[in-house]
């Protein structure tokens, strides 16, 4: 069976930045299980998996526009430290921020005496990502999995519908 929309695929992967720095890998833990076509994966990887089958292995470079997008420097901003009240903030912390475009995640990248510098870009934005992938399993999704938009484990679904 080939990976197509509304199939459940199980893969092992390793992803590295273009300089070879490993970002993530499933190879020493549980493989990734996902519903093809649900946009759970970045677009470039989902596109490349289309049509693959059990046993297929491939390596692909995915450009930022098909991964986490380009960096936007206007998303790096200094906000008054007073906005964080009496919190001890430090680089690497993440927060949900309310913006003109709705809620967005921001990461603190620097703290000065008066300001906190936040970055609203995804940490992997602007990077070309190298994926090394092996397809382990492909099966038809159930109607319930398609309706919920994700695979279910043997124990069922972790959420309930109302």
The CATH number of the structural domain formed by 7-68+125-148 is 3.10.50.40
Identify the DSSP state of 53.
B
The CATH number of the structural domain formed by 73-119 is 2.40.10.330
| CB 42, CB 68: distance < 8 Å | yes
Q: How far is residue 126 from each of residues 76, 116, 138, measured CA to CA in Å? A: 14, 23, 31
Evaluate whether 7-68+125-148 and 73-119 have a shared fold.
no
Least confidently predicted of 46-50, 81-85, 143-147: 81-85
Q: Tell me the domain boundaries of the chain.
A: 7-68+125-148, 73-119
pLDDT tens-place string over residues 71-117: 999 999 999 988 888 788 999 999 888 777 788 889 999 999 899 99
The overall pTM is greater than 0.75? yes
Q: How far apart are CA 3 and CA 132, in angstroms?
A: 17
Q: How far apart are CA 135 and CA 32, in angstroms?
A: 10
């Amino acid at each position: 069976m080939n990976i197509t929309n509304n199939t459940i695929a199980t893969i092992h992967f390793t992803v590295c930045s273009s300089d070879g720095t490993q970002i993530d890998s499933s190879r020493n833990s549980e493989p990734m299980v996902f519903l093809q076509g649900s946009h759970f994966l970045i677009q470039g990887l989902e596109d490349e998996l289309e049509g693959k089958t059990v046993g297929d292995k491939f390596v692909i470079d995915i450009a930022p526009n098909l991964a986490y997008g380009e960096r936007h420097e206007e998303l790096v901003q200094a906000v008054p430290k007073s906005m964080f009240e009496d919190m001890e903030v430090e680089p690497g912390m993440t927060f949900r921020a309310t913006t003109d475009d709705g809620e967005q995640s921001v990461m603190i990248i620097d703290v000065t005496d008066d300001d906190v510098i936040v970055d609203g870009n995804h940490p992997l934005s602007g990077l070309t990502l190298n994926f090394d992938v092996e397809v382990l399993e492909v099966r038809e999704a159930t109607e319930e999995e398609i309706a919920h938009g994700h695979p279910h484990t043997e124990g069922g679904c972790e959420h309930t519908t109302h």
